[in-house]
Structure 1
């Protein structure tokens, strides 16, 4: 998971894999002492510290390199990668995008009829589904229905025009026969959501489904408001089309999803 998503907080790892927080903390400490994980954290305004942010450690990088036939890293490059993450000005955005998948995964843990069968970060998604560069991509199943999605995790720092311009790439992918998955704008506030809906009226590219929700709602629940509608729906209730083959070198993956 850390190899894919780079950094997870203690809270996120607790939600993903553990029931008891203390058990989670003990296990993370053991993995840290073994060099499989590394960590950093920041001071809080007013005193105290934020939760630990966990990354792969040197031995963790070595293990993943061996598992995926990649060049073995050095201790120096491993440490530098952790330091770059801790200094990354987009760290909040990265963790916000990851939090979306964490919540879906945690929901599926307590709901046997639900499953997050695919959860990809931006880099892996962009490499597979050019020209789109979403903050994340997944396949979500609930009660026998499977929906693909493109995630656009918004922190409120970009103008609405820049958010809307991202939809053109999804339209281009759909024209090539690629997936027509809903584009999910996950937004920090209701005001931001209302303004984005107003901005997208008449500006949404044809063939691109767009829905919005705020951080306060669980991504699996009926918090998604499709652009142009007035009724919120569950994630599994959004329209989803896996696409079609349009070229001789195109193919589908093991889930029947268009690749390139």
Structure 2
């Protein structure tokens, strides 16, 4: 048969793939019906993924579930409802956990609850791909892992804002990688401690001069708003931390900026891993976060030019508490 005359019974393999129907649950999701299937914890997860871009199975399990089996089952259900999307990065050694991002139905639900159009949420068709192939993915995961550890160990996070939210609030002065309140006070009467802090997650990709150039912005914010909020810098190695401390010591003293450092080799959430950087009052030993809260006098949460941040629990569009509503028990 001539090449120009195709076989009537032949169907190219590519055409078969194109004609393969998308699974119904991923193809179309009715928001009214979806709202009846989501729990308060699901809604919390939608907000957290919108705020922090990407969370792994390990993050979500630690923050919101008591059973890994329940975690995986619920995330799989949310995936088929298009509430979340996911990818798994390729690693040269071992396998990575599933990485979850906000799905289209989740973004549409978020937009509907906020009374805005979908583009206002920042979600796009290539949302997951942009995160998966972002050159800053490992940095984002590092920040989210550190804050997840703080949220699930001694004390808890009363507030956790992403780099995007922090930039929206304080971008005229600073661009921290996160802002958080770490505390042991759950609302009960009695003594408690509160450590508000900005976080710089230093991977060593910037030269020391560029890190130093960030400090005047933190001092200017404190002077403008009348607040005193520490800066915590997590570094990649002991060598990097030592070099950074030597570079920043004089500037930190001159600006009277409360600053402490740690490194990956030392950091665990409950260990004394943080070393303040001031020549006049610096302790010789590293401190835990509760000890940092009492080491510096007159600490206060960061503010904006107009006012300090609203108290936790007040109505706000920010995801104040990274601890989700949780049923009494999780059944496997």
What TM-score, normalized by structure 2, do the two folds share?
0.69
Which residue pairs with 1:157 in the alignment? 205
> For 1:208, which of 257, 277, 292 is the aligned residue?
257
What TM-score, normalized by structure 1, do the two folds share?
0.86
Which residue pairs with 1:33 in the alignment? 80
> For 2:133, which of 79, 83, 87 is the aligned residue?
87
Aligned to 1:116, what secondary structure does the other structure show? strand
Question: Residue 141 in 1 paired to residue 188 in 2?
Answer: no
Q: How far 1:137 moved relative to its partner?
A: 0.2
Q: Could you say if the C-alpha distance between residues 70 and 236 of structure 1 is closer, same or farther in structure 2, counting changes exceeding 3 Å?
A: farther
Question: Residue 223 in 1 paired to residue 269 in 2?
Answer: no
Q: Could you say if the C-alpha distance between residues 19 and 116 of structure 1 is closer, same or farther in structure 2, counting changes exceeding 3 Å?
A: same
Is the 2:63–2:151 Cα contact (8 Å) retained in structure 1? yes
Which residue pairs with 1:68 in the alignment? 114
CA distance in structure 2 between the aligned counterparts of 1:220 and 1:164, rounded to whole angstroms? 28
5+ residue gaps, structure 1, are none
Is the 1:40–1:54 Cα contact (8 Å) retained in structure 2? yes
Q: How far 1:35 moved relative to its partner?
A: 0.5
Question: Residue 232 in 1 paired to residue 286 in 2?
Answer: yes
Structure with the greater relative contact order (CA < 8 A, sep ≥ 6): 1 or 2? 2
CA distance in structure 1 between the aligned counterparts of 2:106 and 2:169, rounded to whole angstroms? 25
Q: How far 1:201 moved relative to its partner?
A: 2.3
Q: How far 1:135 moved relative to its partner?
A: 0.2
Q: How far 1:245 moved relative to its partner?
A: 8.5
Larger radius of gyration: 2
Q: How far 1:244 moved relative to its partner?
A: 9.3
List, as ranges, runs of 4+ consecutive aligned residues in structure 1 with deviation greater than 4 Å.
Answer: 243-247
5+ residue gaps, structure 2, are 1-47, 186-191, 313-332
CA distance in structure 2 between the aligned counterparts of 1:121 and 1:179, rounded to whole angstroms? 20
Q: Deviations over 1:16-51 (max 9, x none)?
A: 1122222211111111011100011122215x5321
Is the 1:224–1:233 Cα contact (8 Å) retained in structure 2? yes
Query: Equivalent residues in 2 for 1:106-145 (5 A)?
Result: 106-107=152-153, 111=154, 114-130=155-171, 131-142=173-184, 144-145=192-193
Aligned to 2:273, what secondary structure does the other structure show? coil
Higher strand share: 1
Which residue pairs with 2:8 in the alignment? none
Which residue pairs with 2:224 in the alignment? 176
Aligned to 1:201, what secondary structure does the other structure show? helix
